[in-house]
Amino acid sequence: AQSVTQPDIHITVSEGASLELRCNYSYGATPYLFWYVQSPGQGLQLLLKYFSGDTLVQGIKGFEAEFKRSQSSFNLRKPSVHWSDAAEYFCAVGRGNDMRFGAGTRLTVKP
Amino acid sequence: EAQVTQNPRYLITVTGKKLTVTCSQNMNHEYMSWYRQDPGLGLRQIYYSMNVEVTDKGDVPEGYKVSRKEKRNFPLILESPSPNQTSLYFCASSLGNEQYFGPGTRLTVT
């Protein structure tokens, strides 16, 4: 069965520090992979997506993610976190109407 | 501006009182869906629609109905809401595999 696991429920980092949010998936076929961000009281905004090709994808707001097929992972990274990055982040995998979301990782940024 | 709109944004109601949450998109997308978001569970799909008059159940359809009479609109109907339907609801539309989300509707059923 298709599933997405975000192992970290809550992460706290200091402003300016690097960030990595983990995402592991189980999917029968080659999946399409997504990261979304949800700021408090807001909807979901697409950060980046991977469909095929280069396994390192660049997104908005300075985020990137790397698809590792052998590890079934699609981890999100940012070299230097800003206070405005505090939000909840969702990994999603799937194709078409078959989309699965992880439970989310809440990011807190310390001054 | 390309967008998905939902109304209302916030709703408090009582058990058993029928309600409808509207969803509209202006991108001429064929595919639309409804999700609910609950703490620790992420987003779970309630219903989806591949096109006008074509709808199907997602992972958690119990207690919900939808209709798709026009391409732009995809309302979510709760015929007899119960407290376990208290949640944050998102509508989304897509063309291909990228989904565009509405701002969400926070529903409280007492």
Q: Average pLDDT, stretch A18-40?
A: 91
CB–CB contact B56 A99 (8 Å): no
Provide, as residue numbers in chain A, all residues whose Cβ is less than 8 Å from the Cβ of B104. Answer: 42-43
DSSP state of B96: T
Contact of A46 with chain B, judged by CB distance below 8 Å, is answered with: yes
Q: Region of B62 please: left (phi>0), alpha (psi -120 to 50) or beta.
A: beta
More confident site: B98 or A35? A35
In this structure, are residues B45 and B33 in contact, taking their beta carbons and an 8 Å threshold?
A: yes
Residues A98/B30/B67/B55 CA torsion (nearest 10 deg):
-40
HEC string of B47-86 equals: EEEEECCEEEECCCCCCCEECCCCCCECCEEECCCCHHHC
Other CB atoms closer than 10 Å to residue A110's CB: what's the count? Answer: 12
Q: Nearest Cβ partner of B42 from A42, A94, A104?
A: A104
Task: Give pLDDT, residue A30.
Answer: 76
State yes or no: pLDDT of B104 exceeds 80: yes
**Residue for token digits 């697409």?**
A46
